[in-house]
Amino acid sequence: MTRARTVLVPTLIAVFAVTSGGWLLQRGVGMRANVYLHARVFEEVMNRIESSFVGEVDLDSLYEAAITGVVDRLEDPNSRFLPAAMWENERIRTQGEYGGVGLEVIDRDGYITIVAPIPGTPGARAGLRPGDRIVEVDGRSLDGWVTDQAVDLLRGEPGTTVQVGIRRPGAGAVITFEVERELIHVPSVPFAVMLEDGVGYVPLLVFNRTTTQEVRAALDSLAAEGMTSLVLDLRRNRGGLLTEGVGLTDLFLDPGMDIVEIRSRASTPERYAARDRQSYPDLPIVVLVEYGSASAAEILAGALQDHDRALLIGSTTYGKGSVQSLFPLSGGNVLKLTTARWFTPSGRSIQMDVADQRARGERGVLTVRGEVAERPGLEDKPEFRSSGGRLVRGGGGIVPDLWVMQDTLSADEREAFREVINFGGSFVTALQSWAVSYLQAHPDLEPGFPITDDDLASFHTSLQEREANLPMATLLRARRSMAFLLGNEIAVQAWGDRGSFLRIAASDAQLDRALELLSAASGPEDLFALAGSPLGQVEASGGEPGEGADPSR
């Protein structure tokens, strides 16, 4: 007990020193002495608890709670005290491989929330979805936990299983999924494909050590096939390495053009600028963004928008524009502390305030794909100008040039769809099993295959076999979403990520708008002229948000 105290007290003092550094220098020695007084009082309290408290106490956990409390008072979701046992988890998004379930998670409104399952991983195959709140792991409640602690439980040896209990919007009870861990390899570019009229399509999942290399290879391959314009898809890209975000942006800008500026309290602003000449300077580019685009993805999107190098389509990005520095502490512990913020070349802060993040949830609507889409919210967002004089918006996150929403569900469709997803693991198991049977019965299947009412009836039988007593009428009411989910599961099992994309591309309103503009544009400047729509205008296929849309679009 006593040994643990002597190791951790210097750690606590170090935290006080880090969190108050500039303040102490300005206030002088008197204030510094005051901080040491507080530390001494804290030590006296801990001594009294150890010697006199009526019950047994775990001093390690008390010290850890105290340090965590200090960091929490900063009210910054990205600053965190990392005990030695949890430090390894910080590399989850930047290393090439790890044993786990393949989920990108964040702290949101007090819950550990799934941002996106990595395509092709156990979490994605199990049916875990963006927006799911993880509340239990192996029967253990995660109430009061932070992301790093949850990740520690989710990761493990490949081949072992983990039970994940989630609360899903619209579902009353906790839904449990059993997921088998695998060795997770996260490529930056899962595939690249040539679309109609010479439009190349490159989806970018993450910024890791090979991102710039992978994108360059994809562009060169598409150029050899005759690419005349490009769609770079950053939707669901949670970011990663700053160096790769800067390096990839450099591919599309001329030498000397600013990419991002880092501003901190302790030093002069640091600017990153492009160094190399563009390989494809005349290539018209559309970048697709949404709420799931964050961090390094926002650096790329913001720089290309500010320099009029790409047209942004979709919805406002996440707003994660801060720098976290890692400070080693005694005992192998680490302090992860926000020390700076990122600004785009026009001076826009990428970081979105916590209050603004919470307000975004009020604008959410449910799409045919079972995802939450956001209506535009441009109130009080400051105005900036791109290098060419175009209006761009600040206020946190990167606001697209054209706001395009996916097909949304009517009130009746939403209610039916929520009844379906309430079956959780039973629904996913039935879906996967049914897709296998479907493929066996259709060996010559093509990506454009339809989902018929007979297919829904067959799937309904599969649900009943697993005691999921869902009325057939409910499946029919949720027909558009069910057709999407069944068709996509078949495509993933049959052809992988590329085949799944080809299957759903025709119903992607954001991609559809990009293709429409790129097919008509003769160059980058022509692309902006053709876009024409005022910033923030909503283009929702099939009518107003919340109403049924024409599935033939």
H helix or E strand, kind and range, residue 502 = helix 479-504
Answer whether residue 481 shows pLDDT above 70: yes
Phi, psi of 79 (to 5 degrees): -95, 135
Q: Taking all residues of the chain, what is their mean pLDDT, rounded to a whole number?
A: 84
- pLDDT per residue as tens digits for the range 310-359: 999 999 999 999 988 889 988 888 898 999 999 999 999 999 987 777 77
pLDDT above 80 (res 27): no
Task: Assess contact for 59 and 1: CB atoms under 8 A.
Answer: yes
DSSP state of 226: T
Choose the CATH number for 97-185 among 2.40.128.20, 2.30.42.10, 3.40.50.620, 1.10.10.10. Answer: 2.30.42.10
Contact call for residues 417 and 407 (beta carbons, < 8 A): no
What pLDDT is attached to residue 539?
A: 54
Percent of the chain's residues with pLDDT above 90: 47
Ordered DSSP codes for 258-287: EEEEEEESSS--EEEE--S--SSTT--EEE
Active site residue 138: no
Which CATH number, 3.40.50.150, 3.60.40.10, 3.90.226.10, 3.40.50.300, labels domain 193-319+340-406+534-539?
Answer: 3.90.226.10
- Which residue among the candidates 132, 233, 306, 308 is catalytic per the annotation? 306
pLDDT band at 399 (very low <50, low <70, confident <90, very high): very high
> From CA 147, how far away is CA 111, in angstroms rounded?
9
242 HSE (CA, 13 A, CB side): 17
Query: Dihedrals φ, ψ of 136, to 5°?
Result: -145, 145
Q: Which two tokens stand for residue 391?
A: 């209006």
pLDDT digits (tens, 9 = 90+) for 209-256: 899 999 999 999 999 999 999 999 999 898 988 999 999 999 999 999
- Residue 80 phi/psi, 5-degree rounding, is -160, 145
Q: Please, which pLDDT band fits residue 170 given cuts at 50, 70 and 90? A: low
Q: What is the pLDDT of residues 517-531, one digit of tens each?
A: 999 998 888 899 888
Flag whether pLDDT at 418 surpasses 70. Answer: yes
Taking only the tens place, the pLDDT of each residue in 57-110 is 888 889 889 998 999 899 888 888 888 767 655 544 445 456 889 887 877 667
Of the ranges 28-37, 88-97, 113-122, 375-384, which one carries the lowest mean pLDDT score?
88-97
Q: What is the DSSP string of 308-319?
A: T--EEEES----
Residue 140 has pLDDT above 50, yes or no: yes
Return the beta strands (E) in 192-257 as ranges. Answer: 193-194, 199-203, 229-233
Give me the catalytic one of 293, 320, 481, 500.
Answer: 320
**Best CA proximity match to 122, nearest among 170, 156, 85, 167:** 156
Q: Are 301 and 276 in contact (CB under 8 A)?
A: no
Query: Rounded to whole angstroms, how far apart are CA atoms 539 and 420?
Result: 28
Cα angle, residue 83 at apex, residues 82 and 86 outer, rounded to 5°: 75
Closest CA to 251 of 302, 203, 309: 309
Contact 481, 417 (CB under 8 A): yes
Q: Average pLDDT, stretch 424-447?
A: 84
CA distances for 84 relative to 4, 23, 380, angstroms:
14, 28, 43
Task: Check if the beta carbon of residue 106 is closer than 8 Å to that of residue 147.
Answer: yes
Q: Domains of the chain: which residue ranges?
A: 2-73, 97-185, 193-319+340-406+534-539, 411-506
Cβ count near 254 (within 10 Å)? 15
Whether residue 295 lies in the annotated active site? yes
Dihedral-angle region of residue 235 (phi above 0 means left; psi in -120 to 50 means alpha; beta otherwise): beta
* pLDDT of amino acid 1: 41
Distance CA 515, CA 86 (A): 44
> Who's near 383: CB < 8 A, 6+ residues apart?
391, 392, 393, 394
Q: What is the pLDDT of residue 487?
A: 94
The answer to whether residue 320 is catalytic is yes
* pLDDT score, position 551: 30
Among the options 295, 346, 481, 541, which is catalytic? 295
What is the rounded distance in angstroms from the CA atom of residue 289 to the CA atom of residue 318? 9
Residue where the block lists tokens 């199990």 = 126
Q: Which helix (H) or strand (E) holds 164?
A: strand 161-167
**Radius of gyration over every alpha carbon of the chain, rounded to an integer in angstroms:** 25
User: Of the candidates 532, 444, 527, 449, which has an alpha carbon nearest to the alpha carbon of residue 489?
Assistant: 449
- pTM of whole model > 0.75? no
DSSP characters over 102-159 = -EEEEEETTEEEEEEEPTTSHHHHHT--TTPEEEEETTEE-TT--HHHHHHHH---TT
Greatest mean pLDDT among 71-75, 98-102, 293-297, 462-466 lies in 293-297
| Count of beta carbons in the 10 Å neighbourhood of residue 442 | 12
